[in-house]
Amino acid sequence: MSTDSSAKDEIVVQGISASQGIAYGQIFVYLQSKVEIPAYRVGPDKRIDEIARFDKALLVTRQQISKIQAEVERTLGKNEALIFDAHLLVLEDEALISETIREFETTGLNIETCFDTVSKKYIQAFSEIDDEYLRERAGDIRDVAQRVLQNLLGHAENSLSQLVERRIVVANDLSPSDSAGINRGSGMAIVTDSGSRTSHAAIVARSMQVPAVVGVRDLSNRVKTGEWALVDGYDGIVILNPSEDTLFRYGKIQTQKKSVEIRLLEANRQKAVTLDGVEVALMANIENVEEVAHVKEFFAQGVGLYRTEYLFLNASRIPTEQEQFLAYKAVVEGISPNPVIIRTLDLGADKPMTSDPGLFPKEDNPFMGSRAIRFCLEHKDLFKDQLRAILLASHHGKVKLMYPMISGIEEMAQANGVLEECKAELRQRNQPFDEVLEVGAMIEIPSAAATVDILAKQCDFFSIGTNDLIQYMLAIDRGNDRIAHLYEPAHPAILRTLKRIVEDAHRMEVPVGVCGEMASDPVYAPLLLGLGVDSLSMAPRLLPAVKYLVRAMKMSDARDLAVEVLGMASSGDIYAKCVQFHRSRVAFD
Q: Is 440 helix (H, G, I), strand (E, B) or coil?
A: strand
What are the Cα distances from residue 119, in Å, to 124, 199, 435? 9, 20, 49
Can you give the pLDDT at residue 134? 64
Share of the chain above pLDDT 90, in %: 51
Written as one letter, the residue type at 470 is I
Residue 362 has pLDDT above 70, yes or no: no
547 or 166: whose pLDDT is higher? 547
Residues 18-29 have a mean pLDDT of: 88
Q: 54, 111 in Cβ contact below 8 A? A: yes
Residue 159 has pLDDT above 60, yes or no: no
Domain 11-32+162-242 has what CATH class? alpha beta
Can you give the pLDDT at residue 238? 96
Residues 52-78 have a mean pLDDT of: 80
* C-alpha to C-alpha distance for 328 and 332, rounded to whole angstroms: 6
Q: 168, 28 in Cβ contact below 8 A? A: yes
Residue 356 has pLDDT above 60, yes or no: no
Which of 20-24, 396-400, 449-453 is predicted least confidently?
20-24
Can you give the pLDDT at residue 476? 78
Helix axes 492-507, 466-474, angle to 10 degrees: 120
Can you give the pLDDT at residue 126? 78
Domain 44-153 has what CATH class? mainly alpha
Q: 204, 179 in Cβ contact below 8 A? A: yes
Residue 28 has pLDDT above 60, yes or no: yes
271 or 357: whose pLDDT is higher? 271
Dihedral Cα 209, 214, 218, 223, nearest 10 deg: -20
- Centre a 10 Å sphere on the Cβ of residue 117 and count the other Cβ atoms it contains: 17
Outline where DSSP puts E strands in 378-511.
399-403, 438-443, 461-464
Written as one letter, the residue type at 120 is K
Residue 161 has pLDDT above 70, yes or no: no
pTM of the model: 0.67
Q: Which of 412, 405, 477 is nearest to 442 (CA)?
A: 405
**Three-state SS string across 79-123, please?**
HHHCHHHHHHHHHCCHHHHHHHHHHHHHHCECHHHHHHHHHHHHH
pLDDT band of residue 359 (cuts 50, 70, 90) is low
- Centre a 10 Å sphere on the Cβ of residue 534 and count the other Cβ atoms it contains: 18
Can you give the pLDDT at residue 133? 61
518 or 136: whose pLDDT is higher? 518
Residue 349 has pLDDT above 60, yes or no: no
Can you give the pLDDT at residue 3? 45
Preceding omega of 337 cis (within 30 degrees of 0): yes
pLDDT in tens, 233-291: 988 999 999 999 999 998 888 888 877 788 888 888 999 999 999 999 999 998 888 88
Can you give the pLDDT at residue 363? 61
pLDDT in tens, 562-578: 999 999 999 999 999 99
pLDDT band of residue 350 (cuts 50, 70, 90) is very low
204 or 116: whose pLDDT is higher? 116
Can you give the pLDDT at residue 5? 43
For residue 440, the cross-strand partners are 402, 461
Can you give the pLDDT at residue 174? 79
pLDDT band of residue 318 (cuts 50, 70, 90) is confident
Can you give the pLDDT at residue 587? 67
User: Judging by DSSP bridges, how do beta strands 237-240 and 11-14 pair with one another?
Assistant: antiparallel
Where do the domains of the chain lie?
Answer: 11-32+162-242, 44-153, 263-585
Residues 549-555 have a mean pLDDT of: 95
| Separation of first and last alpha carbons in the chain | 20
354 or 289: whose pLDDT is higher? 289
* CATH number for the domain running over 263-585: 3.20.20.60
Average pLDDT, the chain: 86
pLDDT band of residue 317 (cuts 50, 70, 90) is confident
Catalytic residue annotation? 200, 515
pLDDT band of residue 160 (cuts 50, 70, 90) is low
Can you give the pLDDT at residue 109? 93
Can you give the pLDDT at residue 589? 47
Residue 158 has pLDDT above 70, yes or no: no
